[in-house]
C-alpha cells in the first residue's frame, strides 16, 4: 500500500490535505484523532480537536500521531510538498532514513 498526500505548513505546523480534510501531523503525539479508518482517541492531554485547533491558531479536522504513523514507513518530501505512507514491506526508497520512536510508552 502506497499513499501520497499533499502537505503544507500552517502556522509552522505540518498539515496533510486529505481530500479537503486537514490533518495536523504530530510526531510527538502518541495518539491520533482520525475517526475514519482507525479507531483513535478523542482527546490528547484532556483537549479535543477543537481545543487543539484553537491552541494552534488554525482549524484542522484531525491529528495524525505516532499510533498510526508507526504502522508505516513515512516519507516526508518537503521539496515536492508531499508525504507518502508505505507498508513495512515496500522498498525502493531513496534518501536518508531517520527512525521515529515512541517515547511515551503507548
- Residues 21 and 70: their CA atoms lie apart, in Å, by 21
pLDDT at 57: 87
Q: What is the pLDDT of residue 4?
A: 92
Question: Which residues in the chain show pLDDT less than 50?
Answer: 35-39, 103-106
Distance separating alpha carbons of residues 27 and 42, to the nearest angstrom: 17
**Backbone Cα Rg of the chain:** 14
Beta strands in 19-101 (DSSP E): 21-25, 62-64, 73-77, 82-86
Q: Check residue 93 and give its pLDDT.
A: 62
Residue 65: strand pairing partners: none
Q: SS3 for 69? A: helix
Amino acid at each position: 500500500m502506497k499513499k501520497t498526500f499533499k502537505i503544507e505548513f500552517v502556522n509552522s505546523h505540518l498539515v496533510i490535505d486529505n481530500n479537503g480534510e486537514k490533518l495536523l501531523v504530530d510526531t510527538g503525539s502518541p495518539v491520533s484523532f482520525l475517526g475514519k479508518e482507525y479507531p483513535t482517541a478523542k482527546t490528547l492531554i484532556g483537549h479535543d480537536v477543537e481545543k487543539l485547533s484553537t491552541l494552534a491558531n488554525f482549524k484542522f479536522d484531525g491529528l495524525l500521531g505516532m499510533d498510526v504513523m508507526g504502522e508505516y514507513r513515512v516519507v516526508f518530501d518537503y521539496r515536492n510538498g508531499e508525504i507518502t505512507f508505505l507498508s513495512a514491506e515496500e522498498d525502493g526508497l531513496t534518501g536518508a532514513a531517520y527512525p521515529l520512536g515512541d517515547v511515551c510508552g503507548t
